[in-house]
Amino acid sequence: MHAAQRQVLVLGAGLAGLGAARHLADAGFQVSVIEARPRIGGRIHTSRSWAGMPMDLGASWIHGSKANPLTDLAKTAGAQLRATSYDAAMMLDGTGQQIDPDLRAPKALIAKALRQAENGSRDISVLAALQALPEWHRARAKTQRLAQHLLNATLEQEYGAPLAQLSAWYGQDGDEFDGPDMLFPGGYDQLLAPLARGLRIHMGQSVRAIAPGQVTLDSGQTIRADHIICTLPLGVLQSGRISFGAPLSASRQAAIDGLQMGLLNKCWLRFDRIAWPGDVDWIEWLGPTAGAWAQWVSLARAAKWPVLLGFHAAAGAQALEGLDDAATVAQATHALRQMFGSSFPAPVAAQITRWGRDPFSMGSYSFNAVGTSGHSRAALFGPEWDGQLWFAGEATSPRYFGTAHGALISGRQAAAGVAGI
């Protein structure tokens, strides 16, 4: 069948779905995109409720800007980029004193725990690996506290994963691009326009069932297509809300069941002035509770805005989702006053995410849980039902899972596969 005669239905208007649809539309296919949200972008969500200060509630950075396809897309969109640096950072202790701790001992503990786990006969969690290390139990309280901070900053925040679930063997298996991390002062959603231009996108339409050659929406409408590309997040696939009209392959179903959805939430706070050091991008706090208000990003240096971003990941993020905005802001303000003194101003506005409660994502991004690996993701990606159904999205990327560029690359790869059939 000629490309112009083949109907392709793409499920999800995030980067994976839009990337796939753009590729196929440009190749002459008849493409329609179904999106449950009233907006495109998926886990890219730029809020413009603060005049002149777009806040990215989902993806924020291009992680590694050299040879990253998002960098090319940003150029196409005419989007301005600003680099942030982990070297432009400060760390405060529980009393608010700036410190520069010796991290060699906690880093060595973590490295030894993971090394011993790697030599084990079966995969275990990062937490189990640490607890199995005799040196961990003999370590000084200060060393343990620094190790907990490092684990939160480098693993829980990076992957959105509880240490009790993150694979010690494969949890950190993702590849990286070189170059600095880049923010979008004008908003990440600028990348969407060149992908979505001219596409038929039907928003506010939730999928109920997927069967060979057709998709049924919650409204009861059935849409037929020669090929279906499913880019729905792993959390949605795991939710049971979508039925499949024929069994999926055993390896694909095992991947859906075994991979897990991580959680990273943001608390954007706007102030009437910059009341903290303006020459740093990152602020780390060794507060009384590991992982609680421990990681902050300042936009003072990158954008000259009086804005701080507090991160929470994994169990900490889940617990915070149970609070309303006022209680969350009160917690954040209390933490900042412990960090910078009692005269630190209260924020004048806040924007807070709860990705775990979002029915169209059910989390932030996927991670390799115990017993899963890049092989699981390779099994999730690609064709099903003799090429009538394809899977794409960040969860299907063995190399770049959990990233916006991983989503885009997987969507383009799925589209190339459909075009080659």
Q: What is the CATH number of the domain that holds 377?
A: 3.50.50.60
Q: For residue 244, is it within any domain?
A: yes
- Average pLDDT of the chain is 97
Quote the pLDDT of residue 143: 97
Output DSSP code: residue 177.
-
Q: How far is CA 140 from CA 92, 127, 145, 154, 285, in A?
A: 19, 18, 9, 21, 19
Q: What is the 3-state secondary structure (H, E, C) of 275-338?
A: CCCCCCCEEEECCCCCCCCCEEEECHHHHCCCEEEEEEEHHHHHHHCCCCHHHHHHHHHHHHHH
Q: For residue 162, is it within any domain?
A: no
Quote the pLDDT of residue 1: 65
Quote the pLDDT of residue 215: 98
Give the separation between CA 21 and CA 32, rounded to whole angstroms: 8
Full domain range(s) for residue 209: 3-47+71-79+188-260+368-420
Q: For residue 203, is it within any domain?
A: yes
List the chain residues with pLDDT less than 70: 1, 4
Give the separation between CA 19 and CA 70, rounded to whole angstroms: 11
Q: For residue 221, is it within any domain?
A: yes
Quote the pLDDT of residue 149: 97
Q: How far is CA 327 from CA 6, 95, 127, 322, in A?
A: 52, 23, 30, 10
Q: For residue 53, is it within any domain?
A: no
Helical ranges in 152-202 per DSSP H: 157-159, 192-196
Count of domains observed in the chain? 1
Give the separation between CA 13 and CA 98, rounded to whole angstroms: 44
Quote the pLDDT of residue 5: 80
Quote the pLDDT of residue 35: 98
Radius of gyration of the chain, Cα coordinates, nearest whole angstrom = 22
Q: For residue 196, is it within any domain?
A: yes
Quote the pLDDT of residue 421: 78
Q: Which helix (H) or strand (E) holds 110?
A: helix 104-118
Vertex 398, ends 393 and 399: CA angle to 5°?
100
pLDDT in tens, 85-134: 999 999 999 999 999 999 999 999 999 999 999 999 999 999 999 999 99
pLDDT in tens, 243-298: 999 999 999 999 999 999 999 999 999 999 999 999 999 999 999 999 999 999 99
Q: How far is CA 307 from CA 54, 79, 98, 267, 274, in A?
A: 11, 21, 20, 10, 8
Q: What are the strands, taking DSSP E only, across 107-154?
A: none
Give the contacts of 270 (CB within 8 A, at least 6 positions apart): 50, 53, 305, 306, 307, 347, 348, 349, 350
Give the contacts of 188 (CB within 8 A, at least 6 positions apart): 44, 46, 56, 58, 59, 60, 404
Q: For residue 173, is it within any domain?
A: no
Q: For residue 176, is it within any domain?
A: no
